[in-house]
Chain A
Amino acid sequence: ELQLLETGGGLIQPGGSLRLSCVASGFTVNSNYMTWVRQAPGKGLEWLSVIYAGGNTYYADSVKGRFTISRDNSKNTLFLQMNNLRVEDTAVYYCARGLSYSYAFGYWGQGTLVTVSS
């Protein structure tokens, strides 16, 4: 069974850094594109970043230059390094895997909450 489990969320002060992890099971993280999506409290879904199977990465303008997506194939884990965090980065962060044959996010983790506050 394909599963994703995010960890690493918590309370962090503005300007701080945090690294989120997304451990995959049932597939390998480098076999398909994987993405991060967030949802601020009471708001909609916001796409953040993608890493393709070939390694190319892309970011939303709101996080470009501050967030970095990466993966560790040996640990079968996806990461999101978040630097210079802002209050508006407060959200539940989800990792998701695309379908093998479509640019749809077919598999999601349960999410991890990041709270940026002083």
Chain B
Amino acid sequence: SYVLTQPPSVSVAPGQTARIFCGGNNIGGRSVNWYQQKPGQAPVLVVYDDSDRPSGIPERLSGSNSGDTATLTIRRVEAGDEADYYCQVWDSSTDHPGVFGGGTKLTVL
């Protein structure tokens, strides 16, 4: 089955840019979605189809996808961005299509 690999943690100072990577074999050929989850809350979709944002998600959050790596970029990081972030793809070619990465904890220093 398809595997997505994320770093366990990323740290960044306020106002800087955070990049969270999601690795997968030729992931650039798939659509990648990103979720933000804060403690005690349900996940929230922040980027879908590699780079689109649902309404209400600030432009500071953006996504890209190429080769074997998808990236969630958060510019001008704020304290409120501290959360766990998960990448996800849908592998329609299998009978267990839902795949999540292991998650990355973003810490704002």
B103 contacts across to A, CB distance below 8 A: 44-45
Q: How many inter-chain contacts with C-beta < 8 Å in the A-B complex?
A: 71
Known A37-B100, A46-B100, A110-B42; further 20 A-B contacts with Cβ < 8 A: A44-B86, A45-B88, A45-B103, A47-B98, A60-B96, A64-B96, A94-B42, A94-B43, A99-B48, A102-B48, A102-B49, A103-B31, A103-B97, A104-B45, A104-B48, A104-B49, A105-B43, A108-B43, A109-B42, A111-B42
- 1/0 per residue A74-118: CB within 8 Å of B? 000000000000000000001000010011111011110000000
Closest chain A CB from B40 CB (angstroms): 9
Asked if residues B95 and A58 are in contact (CB atoms below 8 Å), the reply is yes
Closest chain B CB from A44 CB (angstroms): 4
Closest chain A CB from B18 CB (angstroms): 19
A-B contact pairs, 5 of them (CB 8 A): A46-B100, A47-B96, A58-B95, A99-B45, A104-B45
Task: Verify if A50 is at the interface (C-beta below 8 Å from B).
Answer: yes
Task: Verify if A61 is at the interface (C-beta below 8 Å from B).
Answer: yes
A45-B43 contact given A103-B90, A106-B54, CB 8 Å threshold: yes
Asked if residues B49 and A50 are in contact (CB atoms below 8 Å), the reply is no
A108-B54 contact given A45-B103, A99-B48, CB 8 Å threshold: no
A45 contacts across to B, CB distance below 8 A: 35, 37, 43, 86, 88, 100, 103
Would you list which residues of chain B between 57 and 94 have a CB under 8 Å from chain A?
84, 86, 88-90, 92
Count of interface residues, chain A, beta-carbon cutoff 8 Å: 24
Distance between Cα atoms of A46 and B102 in the complex (Å): 9
Asked if residues B88 and A104 are in contact (CB atoms below 8 Å), the reply is yes
Distance between Cα atoms of A45 and B84 in the complex (Å): 10
A109 contacts across to B, CB distance below 8 A: 42
Most B C-beta atoms less than 10 A away, residue of A60, A61, A94 = A60
B99 contacts across to A, CB distance below 8 A: 47
